[in-house]
Amino acid sequence: MAAKEMKSYSLTEMKDKYIGKVGTTERDEYEYELRMDILGRMIKSARQERNLTQEQLGRLVGVQKSQISKLESSTNSATIDTIMKVFKALKAEIHFNVTLEDQYLKLI
């Protein structure tokens, strides 16, 4: 008896099958949460590199410690303004890249 060949799937195929195709509400929410998770980890890492507590960073930004905690754990959706203030307080550069059809826009 021949061994049964196992089919492998790409990450995109798995997300399409179990989360939803690109453009569906479920997939959009998943991708947004994933980006917020990565952003939260970057904020935490930068804060720790600067040897700041969440409370100290909150004071620099003008928000409560709990807001910083929520940003780092991705439990809330922060405004771009708040995120910009956090990275400014961390003395970190932010680069936004946007592609609109054939145009590439970059905000530094």
* Mean of all residue pLDDT scores within the chain: 81
Give the pLDDT confidence score for residue 37 in this predicted structure: 81
Q: What is the domain extent for residue 72? A: 11-107
pLDDT digits (tens, 9 = 90+) for 39-56: 888 889 999 999 999 999
Give the pLDDT confidence score for residue 77 in this predicted structure: 64
30 within domain boundaries: yes
Give the CATH number, domain containing residue 39.
1.10.260.40
2 within domain boundaries: no
Q: What is the mean pLDDT of residues 63-88?
A: 82
Q: 0.85 exceeded by the pTM?
A: no
Q: How many domains does the chain have?
A: 1
DSSP string across 19-88: T--TTSHHHHHHHHHHHHHHHHHHHHHHHHHTT--HHHHHHHHTS-HHHHHHHHHT-S---HHHHHHHHH
Q: What is the mean pLDDT of residues 95-100?
A: 63
Tokens 């970057």: give the residue.
42
